[in-house]
Amino acid sequence: MSFSQAVSGLNAASSGLDSIGNNIANSATNGFKGAHASFADMFAGSGVGLGVNVAAVSQNFKDGAITRTDRATDVAISGNGFFRLLDGNGDVVYSRDGEFHRDKSGNLVNNQGMMVTGFPAGQDAAGNVTIQTGGIPQVLNIPTDMMDAKASAKGELTINLNSDDKVPSVSTFDPNNPDSYNFSTTMTTYDSQGNTHEVAVYFIKTDNNKWTVKAKDGSDNTAVIQHLGNMEFDGNGKLLQMTAVDKNGLPIRDGGDPVLDPVTNQPVLDANGNPVLDGGKPVLDKDGNPVLDASGNPVLDGGKIIEVKINNFNFDFNGLNGANAGSITLDVGKTRQQKVTESSVSKIDVDGYQSGEYTSFKIENDGTITASYSNQQKRTVGKIGLSAFANNNGLASQGGNVWKATNASGNPMDGVPGTGQFGNLTGGAVEASNVDMSQELINMIVMQRNYQSNSQTIKTQDQMLQTLVNLR
């Protein structure tokens, strides 16, 4: 009789309905992967089989839809890969759910408190941010300590100077007298304590196509006026050269060439380890003979005038409120002289900033985690890592939207988003469940009919037995 076959069919249909019901229940679970029950017949050496059993329950790892959340801490995977997490026991688990936040210790965690791993940021010898993506991923921590102030070190100043300007009527420069200069502007800079300084820069025409640039700390009335240098333009208004000058406005000379040791041909060094300079070439009289000083030594020309070939001026200021003295390299190489109504500023851009408090963090599309501060600055703190497997269906589901690696899945391969076999990330979004509700409802009807049909088999067997009983 076929009672056993029918019962196996009922059990199989029930397992199929369990899988379908679980899929439907998790249709709104982020990163959930729908499962499908597969069946196999049972055979025992006779022509008639023994029924059916559940051969496997496999998961569908097809991508779910990317759903925007507009939360800067959320991130979705498109393509291959899993987030690598540490659970409460320190075991490594994997997930596709990218709904993250920062816990009280600063660690990046999911909604179950599992810690996200990746590659923390560091600094090279020059102070540049680097992220080493090799090795074992580490727990990602987002520090909330204050960002230290950074003194201004470089800036860019681009001016459109009016070529029709006249040489100022007042020859002695006075920052309080507009008749002693042609144009001025200010730029905000920061010292090492984060104090702001309004640096005033003055442009003074000295001759056709020639200008002198001066500056002073506008926030300090006692600040010394600094001669930054001289600028010369060609007839088309293009900057030809810039000459560095000393505090008296005189061209700075390079001191000549290094004195070489006649034996080693290497520069001779002074007591401080600096090259000894020859002072330049001898000054010659009209007959070509060296000019001698009162002691009978040749007078040297002091070396060549230094031309600022990188289009930079240096401005020094003394720090206030305990700040260290600072120096700003100011690039004015894009300044032009043109026939305009009046001189104007085209661009002012100076680095440096005040100290700032941590305010928030954001996960970028490449997995980079960026912390933001109240001083409008950002800091890279790390990059989220991904893991991939040779056989995703070999992963063992642990509940809580995570899996563990098994022998069937193979060992994890760790890396970063957008490289090699790893998928891409979308910040401000999560991956929705990949359950297809319409397909699941169809599958439910099929399983329901399957169950009913197996029930009918039992009913028919019962009727046949009843017929045998009634033969008495």
What CATH number did the domain enclosing 280 receive?
A: 2.60.98.20
| Segment 2-19 mean pLDDT | 83
- Give the per-residue pLDDT at 290: 62
Question: Do 338 and 212 belong to one domain?
Answer: yes
Total of domains in the chain? 3
Chosen domain end from 325, 350, 375? 350
Residue 413, domain member (yes or no): yes
Question: Do 170 and 192 belong to one domain?
Answer: yes
Task: Strands of 124-238 (E only): list them.
Answer: 129-131, 138-139, 154-162, 183-190, 196-207, 210-217, 226-233
**308 pLDDT tier (thresholds 50, 70, 90):** very low
Chosen domain end from 350, 373, 396? 350
What is the number of helices (H) and of strands (E) in the chain?
2, 30
Question: Do 175 and 270 belong to one domain?
Answer: yes
Task: Write down the pTM of the prediction.
Answer: 0.69
- Give the per-residue pLDDT at 256: 46
- Residue 62's identity, in one-letter code, is K
Residue 360, domain member (yes or no): no
Residues above pLDDT 70, as percent of the chain? 80
- Give the per-residue pLDDT at 108: 97
Domain that holds residue 424: 67-132+384-431
User: Of 190, 147, 103, nearest to 359 (Cα)?
Assistant: 147
Q: How far apart are CA 276 and CA 261, in angstroms?
A: 11
Q: How far apart are CA 425 and CA 439, in angstroms?
A: 28
Greater model confidence, 147 or 466:
147
- Residue 427's identity, in one-letter code, is G
pLDDT at 326 over 70: no
Question: Do 103 and 158 belong to one domain?
Answer: no
pLDDT at 245 over 70: no
Residue 363, domain member (yes or no): no
Residue 322, domain member (yes or no): yes
Q: Do the Cβ atoms of 355 and 380 come closer than 8 Å?
A: no
> Which H/E stretch holds residue 459?
helix 437-469
User: Of 446, 423, 459, 358, nearest to 142 (Cα)?
Assistant: 358
pLDDT at 72 over 80: yes
For tokens 């810039």, what's the residue? 242
Question: Do 398 and 426 belong to one domain?
Answer: yes
Residue 309, domain member (yes or no): yes
- Give the per-residue pLDDT at 353: 92
- Give the per-residue pLDDT at 321: 44
Beta strands 413-415 and 336-338 are: unpaired
The per-residue pLDDT for range 26-52, each reduced to its tens digit, is 999 999 999 988 888 887 766 677 788
- Give the per-residue pLDDT at 267: 59
pLDDT at 262 over 60: no
Question: Do 42 and 93 belong to one domain?
Answer: no
User: What six digits make up the tokens of 373?
Assistant: 């501060």
Residue 13, domain member (yes or no): yes
Question: Do 268 and 399 belong to one domain?
Answer: no
Residue 339, domain member (yes or no): yes
pLDDT at 243 over 80: no
Task: Strands of 375-470 (E only): list them.
Answer: 378-384, 386-388, 396-399, 402-404, 413-415, 424-427, 429-431
DSSP 3-state assignment of 310?
coil
**304 pLDDT tier (thresholds 50, 70, 90):** very low
For tokens 């060439």, what's the residue? 257
**247 pLDDT tier (thresholds 50, 70, 90):** low
Listed range (258-262, 358-362, 409-413, 439-443) with the worst mean pLDDT: 258-262
- Give the per-residue pLDDT at 25: 94
Left if phi > 0, otherwise alpha if psi is -120 to 50, otherwise beta: which for 392? Answer: alpha
- Give the per-residue pLDDT at 319: 43
DSSP conformation class of 273: S
Question: Do 333 and 400 belong to one domain?
Answer: no
Question: Do 178 and 323 belong to one domain?
Answer: yes
Chosen domain end from 297, 324, 350? 350
User: Of 449, 401, 447, nearest to 19 (Cα)?
Assistant: 447
Cα–Cα distances (Å) from 299 to 100, 277, 294, 305, in that order, read 74, 14, 10, 17
For 192, phi then psi, to 5°, come to -70, -15
Q: How far apart are CA 20 and CA 35, in angstroms?
A: 8
**274 pLDDT tier (thresholds 50, 70, 90):** low
> Which H/E stretch holds residue 85?
strand 82-86
Question: Do 338 and 409 belong to one domain?
Answer: no
Q: How far apart are CA 8 and CA 12, in angstroms?
A: 6
pLDDT at 252 over 50: no
Q: Do the Cβ atoms of 411 and 103 come closer than 8 Å?
A: no
Question: Do 439 and 426 belong to one domain?
Answer: no
Listed range (11-20, 201-210, 278-287) with the worst mean pLDDT: 278-287
- pLDDT, averaged across the chain: 82
Q: Do the Cβ atoms of 23 and 87 come closer than 8 Å?
A: no
pLDDT at 76 over 90: yes
145, with CB counted inside 10 A (0-12, 13-18, 19+), is exposed
pLDDT at 395 over 90: yes
- Give the per-residue pLDDT at 181: 95
Listed range (146-160, 234-248, 370-384, 387-401) with the worst mean pLDDT: 234-248
| Segment 320-326 mean pLDDT | 50
Angle formed at CA 137 by CA 136 and CA 140, multiple of 5 degrees: 150
Q: How far apart are CA 172 and CA 205, in angstroms?
A: 12
Residues 6+ apart with CB under 8 A from 459: none
- Give the per-residue pLDDT at 235: 86
pLDDT at 373 over 80: yes
Residue 141, domain member (yes or no): no
- Give the per-residue pLDDT at 445: 92
User: What six digits make up the tokens of 382?
Assistant: 């790390």
Question: Do 235 and 338 belong to one domain?
Answer: yes
Greater model confidence, 84 or 462:
84
The per-residue pLDDT for range 153-172, each reduced to its tens digit, is 888 888 999 999 999 999 89
Listed range (317-326, 356-365, 375-384) with the worst mean pLDDT: 317-326
